[in-house]
C-alpha cells in the first residue's frame, strides 16, 4: 500500500538531522498521549481514532441523507464558518471538476457556502441567485450560537420556507450541531429537521471526518467511504511506522526544529489550484491550534505557479524567516500533451509532445532548488494521486501531526481562546443585551 510521503532533505541545509531527531522520543510520546487522551486538552481528542471508529451504519445514514437531498435540490448551501465548512470545501474543491458551475451534465447538486462572512453583498447576491433555483440548506454549527452562520441561516431559512412552504423546507434542511445544547439544536428539534451530531470531544477544526465534512462531500457526489478509508490507512500507518518513515511525526519534528531556528512562518504551496482550499483548511487547523501564548508558526499559503509571479519575489529574496511545505501530486488524473506548431513563434516546440505535468513538475523542482538557494528550507509532501483515498490520508496526516506539533510547542492544540476577543468587541459595539458594561467601555475608545 502506497502512502503519502514526506521528504525533508531540502531542509537539511538549515537544520541538522540531529536537531530534528532530538524530537523523536517526545513526538512518539505525544502521539501516544493523543491516543490515550492524557495530554493538554484531552477532552477534545475524539478525532484521533475517528476513522476507525466511524461505523458503516453511520456512513450509510450520511449517504442516504445526501441521496434524499440530491433528489430534491440543484444547490445545497452549506452554512457554517471555520471548521464547520472549511473541511467540506477543501475536499469538494479538490475533487470537483474545476469548472463545475458550467458543467450542466453533473447530476450532483452544486454545493455553495454561506455564513463564513458577514458581507451584505455576498448574502444579497446569494439569495438573489437562489430565487430561481431549487435549493436546500445544511446548517452546521457546533456551538449553535455563532453569529455569522446564524445570520445567513435566518435569511436562507425564511427564503426557503417562502419558496417551497414550511413542510417542504423541513425536508430540505439538515442541521449538524451539538447533541443537546445550543440554539441550533433547540431550533432543529422544534422544527423537526434531520440532524447529525458533532461529538462533544471533536473540535470544529478536527471535524472534517464527522458529518460536518462528510455530508456536504457526499452531496457533491464524492466517495466518503474511500475518504474515511484513506484517513484510517494514515491512522494505522502513523501508529505503526518508525519515526524516520512516519510522515506525521517527522513533519511535526522538522517544523518545530525549523521554528527553533527562527523560521516563524510556514508557507504551504501547491502546484494544483484544486488544493487551494486544502490550504485554507490547514491554516485554520494550524493557526488556531498553535498560535497562542505568544508562540506558534504563522501558517500562510500560496498557489503555484500563479503566485510565483507575485509572492515568488518575496519568497526568493524577502525576510529569511520562512520555510515552505510543498504538496505535490505525483500523477494527474488527466493527460494533456503540448502540441507542435509549425511556425513555432513562441519557441515552445522543444516541449511539443510532452505532458503539461512534466513542465509543472520541472517548475516545482526548479522552484524548490531556487528557494533553497535563496535561504528557504523546503519540505515536500507527495500524494500519489488526487482522489478521495489520498485526501483522507492527507487530512488525517495534517491533523495528527498538528496534535503532536502543538504538544512539542507545549500548548493546548485544542482550544482557541483568542477567537473570543473580536466577538466580544463586536457584541459590545452592536449593543447586544448582556454586553452593557463592555458597550460603555468600548465607546470611550472610539
Ligand atoms: O461550529 P461553530 O460553533 O459555529 O464554530 C465555528 C468556528 O468558530 C470557532 O469556534 C472560532 O473561530 C472555530 O473554532 C470553529 O471552527
User: In the prediction, which pLDDT does 434 show?
Assistant: 96
This prediction has a pTM of: 0.97
Closest protein CA for atom 9 of ligand 1:
82
Q: Give 81 Cα–ligand 1 centroid separation in angstroms.
A: 6
Indicate the top mutation candidate among 41, 44, 83, 210 to test ligand 1's pocket, ranked by most ligand atoms within 8 A of CB: 83
Ligand 1 atom, smallest distance to 177 CA: 1
* CATH architecture designation of domain 5-40+227-407: 3-Layer(aba) Sandwich (3.40)
Q: Whose CA is nearest to atom 8 of ligand 1?
A: 82
- CA distances 164 to 75, 108, 128, 168, Å, are 14, 20, 16, 6
> How far is it, in rounded angstroms, from Cα 338 to Cα 356?
6
Task: Pull the grid cell for residue 383.
Answer: 500524494
For 352-391, b/e burial (b = at least 16 CB within 10 A) is: eeeeebeebbeebeebbeebbeebbbbbbbbbeebbbbbb
Distance 203 CA to ligand 1 centre (A): 8
Low-confidence ranges of the chain (pLDDT < 70): none
* pLDDT at position 102: 85
Distance 284 CA to ligand 1 centre (A): 10
Closest atom of ligand 1 to CA, residue 204: 16
- Domain 49-225 CATH class label: alpha beta
Helices (H), 272-311: 276-290
Angle between helix 224-240 and 56-72 (nearest 10)? 150
What's the helix, strand, coil split of the chain in %, to 5?
A: 55, 15, 30
Sign of CA dihedral 292, 293, 297, 301: positive
The strands making up 265-270's β-sheet, listed across from edge to edge, are 5-7, 378-385, 322-331, 265-270, 298-303
Q: How far apart are CA 54 and CA 400, in angstroms?
A: 17
Which of 90, 115, 142, 418 to mutate for ligand 1's pocket (most ligand atoms within 8 Å of CB)?
A: 142
Q: Report ipTM for this prediction.
A: 0.97
Q: Which residues of 435-445 are buried (b: 16+ CB within 10 A; e: fewer)?
A: beebeeebeee
State the number of CA atoms in the 13 A half-sphere of 174 facing the CB. 28
**Site of grid cell 508557507:** 267
Q: Are 5-40+227-407 and 49-225 the same fold in CATH?
A: yes
pLDDT in tens, 106-158: 789 999 999 999 999 999 999 999 999 999 999 999 988 999 999 999 999 99
Q: Does an H or E element contain 324, and which?
A: strand 322-331
CA geometry: angle at 330 spanning 328 and 331, to 5°? 130
Residues near ligand 1 (Cβ within 6 A)? 81-84, 141-143, 146, 149, 204-205, 288, 416, 419
Measured in Å, residue 352 CA sits from the centre of ligand 1 at: 49
Locate the ligand 1 atom nearest the alpha carbon of residue 86 and give its number: 16
Torsion 392-398-399-400 (CA) sign: positive
Atom of ligand 1 nearest to the CA of 149: 4
Question: What residues have CB less than 8 Å from 439, skipping those under 6 apart?
Answer: 428, 429, 431
Q: Are strands 5-7 and 265-270 parallel, antiparallel or unpaired?
A: unpaired
Contact present, 272 and 330 (Cβ < 8 Å): no
Q: Which three cell numbers stand for residue 69?
A: 437531498
Spatial separation of the C-alpha atoms in residues 406 and 403, rounded to whole Å: 5
Catalytic positions are 288, 423
* Atom number in ligand 1 closest to CA 80: 4
Closest atom of ligand 1 relative to the 146 alpha carbon: 4
Contact 54, 227 (CB under 8 A): no
Return the pLDDT at 300: 98
**Read out DSSP for 115-158?**
SS---HHHHHHHHHHHTTS-EEEEEEESSS--HHHHHHHHHHHH
- Is 18 strand, coil or helix? helix
pLDDT at 100: 86
How far, in Å, are 179, 383, 411 from residue 292 at the CA level? 29, 31, 7
Residue 121 phi/psi, 5-degree rounding, is -65, -40
- Domain residue ranges of the chain, discontinuous segments joined by +: 5-40+227-407, 49-225
Angstrom distance (rounded) from CA 222 to CA 95: 7
The alpha carbon of 204 and the centre of ligand 1 are apart by a number of angstroms equal to 6
* Among protein residues, the one whose CA lies closest to atom 10 of ligand 1: 204
- To test ligand 1's pocket by mutation, which of 47, 79, 80, 82 has the most ligand atoms within 8 angstroms of CB? 82
Half-sphere exposure of 33 (CA within 13 A, CB side): 20
How far is the centre of ligand 1, averaged over its atoms, from the C-alpha of 84 (Å)? Answer: 7
What pLDDT was estimated at residue 30? 98
Task: Measure 4 CA to ligand 1 centroid, in angstroms.
Answer: 29
Given ligand 1 and candidates 115, 146, 423, which is best to mutate, with the most ligand atoms within 8 Å of its CB? 146
Contact 255, 405 (CB under 8 A): yes
Question: How many Cα atoms within 13 Å fall on the side-chain side of residue 391?
Answer: 31
Amino acid at each position: 500500500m502506497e502512502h503519502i510521503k514526506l521528504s525533508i532533505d531540502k531542509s537539511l541545509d538549515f537544520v541538522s538531522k540531529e536537531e530534528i531527531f532530538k524530537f523523536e522520543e517526545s513526538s512518539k510520546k505525544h502521539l501516544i498521549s493523543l491516543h490515550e487522551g492524557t495530554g493538554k486538552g484531552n477532552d477534545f481528542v475524539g478525532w484521533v481514532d475517528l476513522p476507525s471508529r466511524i461505523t458503516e451504519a453511520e456512513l450509510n445514514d450520511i449517504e442516504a441523507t445526501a441521496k434524499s437531498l440530491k433528489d430534491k435540490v440543484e444547490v445545497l448551501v452549506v452554512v457554517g464558518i471555520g471548521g464547520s465548512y472549511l473541511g467540506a470545501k477543501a475536499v469538494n474543491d479538490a475533487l470537483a471538476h474545476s469548472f463545475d458551475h458550467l458543467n450542466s451534465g453533473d447530476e450532483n447538486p452544486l454545493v455553495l457556502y454561506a455564513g463564513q462572512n458577514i458581507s451584505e453583498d455576498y448574502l444579497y447576491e446569494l439569495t438573489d441567485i437562489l430565487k430561481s433555483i431549487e435549493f436546500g440548506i445544511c446548517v452546521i454549527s457546533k456551538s449553535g450560537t455563532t453569529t455569522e452562520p446564524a445570520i445567513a441561516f435566518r435569511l436562507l431559512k425564511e427564503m426557503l420556507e417562502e419558496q417551497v412552504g414550511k413542510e417542504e423546507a423541513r425536508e430540505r434542511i439538515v442541521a449538524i450541531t451539538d447533541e443537546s445544547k445550543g440554539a441550533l439544536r433547540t431550533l432543529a428539534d422544534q422544527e423537526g429537521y434531520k440532524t447529525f451530531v458533532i461529538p462533544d470531544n471533536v473540535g470544529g477544526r478536527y471535524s472534517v471526518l464527522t458529518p460536518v465534512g462528510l455530508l456536504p462531500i457526499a452531496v457533491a457526489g464524492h466517495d466518503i467511504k474511500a475518504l474515511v478509508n484513506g484517513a484510517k490507512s494514515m491512522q494505522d500507518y502513523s501508529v505503526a511506522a518508525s519515526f524516520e518513515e512516519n510522515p506525521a511525526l517527522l513533519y511535526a519534528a522538522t517544523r518545530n526544529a525549523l521554528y527553533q531556528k527562527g523560521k516563524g512562518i510556514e508557507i504551504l504551496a501547491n502546484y494544483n489550484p484544486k488544493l487551494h482550499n486544502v490550504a485554507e483548511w490547514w491554516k485554520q487547523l494550524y493557526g488556531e491550534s498553535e498560535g497562542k501564548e505568544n508562540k506558534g508558526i504563522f501558517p500562510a499559503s500560496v498557489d503555484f505557479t500563479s503566485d510565483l509571479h507575485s509572492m515568488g519575489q518575496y519568497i526568493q529574496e524577502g525576510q529569511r524567516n520562512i520555510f515552505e511545505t510543498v504538496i505535490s501530486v505525483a500523477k494527474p488524473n488527466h493527460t494533456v500533451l503540448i502540441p507542435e506548431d509549425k511556425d513555432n513563434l513562441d519557441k515552445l516546440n522543444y516541449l511539443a509532445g510532452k505532458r503539461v505535468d512534466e513542465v509543472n513538475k520541472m517548475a516545482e523542482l526548479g522552484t524548490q532548488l531556487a528557494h533553497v538557494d535563496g535561504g528557504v528550507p523546503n519540505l515536500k509532501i507527495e500524494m500519489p494521486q488526487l482522489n478521495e483515498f489520498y485526501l483522507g490520508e492527507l487530512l488525517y496526516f495534517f491533523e495528527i501531526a498538528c496534535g503532536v506539533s502543538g504538544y512539542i510547542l507545549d500548548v493546548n492544540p485544542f482550544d482557541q481562546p483568542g477567537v473570543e476577543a473580536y466577538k466580544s468587541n463586536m457584541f459590545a459595539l452592536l449593543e447586544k443585551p448582556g454586553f452593557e458594561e463592555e458597550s460603555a467601555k468600548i465607546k470611550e475608545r472610539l
